Amino acid sequence: MKKEEGKRGQLTIFIIVAILVIAIVALFFAFPKLRTAVGVEKLETPENFIQTCLQDTIKENVEIISSQGGSLEPEFSYLYKDNKLKYLCYNNEYYKPCIPQISFLRDYIEDEIKKSIEEDVDFCFNSLKEDYNNRGYITNFKEGDIIVELLPKKIVTTINHEFVFSKDENTQRRETFRVVLNNNLYELTAIAQNIIEWETIYGGADCDSYMDVYSKMLCEKYPQTDDTTVYILTDKDTENKFQFALRSIALTPNG
């Protein structure tokens, strides 16, 4: 009898625990705020959503632009190992130093990066709005400007879009979104600009001299048969790369 009573007692406890579990689960689904309070439903912030949505695209586009002389779709270029390298300095005459093709290289590259991500920015903000609407929020969106900045050791994309979302009489507003990419294109661009300046004056630049000053950078210089010169700048730590073409102090076809 005692064994049977013990079994019945264990069964009763099991039934009570099961009822409690079912009741707790029902409460979670009946009261969304309770789920949020205990961390079951955690809404991603708009800033994190945009950072996650854009960071890989920006990284990929920066790598393409850096491998093509700072241009997304270089028109005046030299084909080198299946890459179109934009001529950043050029002169089609012989014995004359090259003429810079871009006045402000950093500004030009910032604008190229901006153009490369505009459609992706639209996609990400539409996705953000849809995500919040699906969660029961009322949203409002106003488009602003996009600013890309090459800064020391990083690229910062600032998106001045206004995003307003409200729920249960609680309204929040975001007016600025920043996506930060760790990349030293700023430094590589500055060195490239200096090389171009030397090419315009002396018709050449010494890679060894740059590597003496910047020990973590690899500078490679490859003269081509048509008097084009390809420069490749590589950060040894990050393997970030910037490469471009120029034609300066060209010799006559007979040397």
What percent of the chain shows pLDDT beyond 70? 82
Residue 5, pLDDT score: 53
Residue 22 has pLDDT above 70, yes or no: no
In the block, tokens 């973590």 appear at 216
The stretch 240-246 carries a mean pLDDT of 97
The tokens for 135 are 């969660």
138-142 sheet: strands from edge to edge? 138-142, 162-167, 170-174
Residues 186-233: tens digit of each pLDDT: 999 999 999 999 999 998 999 999 999 999 999 999 999 999 999 999
Q: What's the confidence (pLDDT) of residue 43?
A: 58
Q: How far apart are CA 206 and CA 198, in angstroms?
A: 9
Residue 181's pLDDT band (cuts 50, 70, 90): very high
Asked if the model's pLDDT at residue 42 lies above 60, the reply is no
pLDDT tens digits, 109-144: 999 999 999 999 999 999 999 999 999 999 999 999
Q: Domain-by-domain residue ranges, the chain?
A: 2-30, 46-59+111-182, 68-104+184-247
Task: Please answer whether residues 253 and 247 qualify as being in contact, where contact means their C-beta atoms are separated by less than 8 angstroms.
Answer: no
Q: Which residues contact 87 (CB under 8 A, 6 or more apart)?
A: 69, 76, 77, 78, 101, 228, 244, 245, 246, 247
Give the model's pLDDT for residue 122.
Answer: 96
Q: What is the mean pLDDT of the chain?
A: 87
Type of residue numbered 26: A
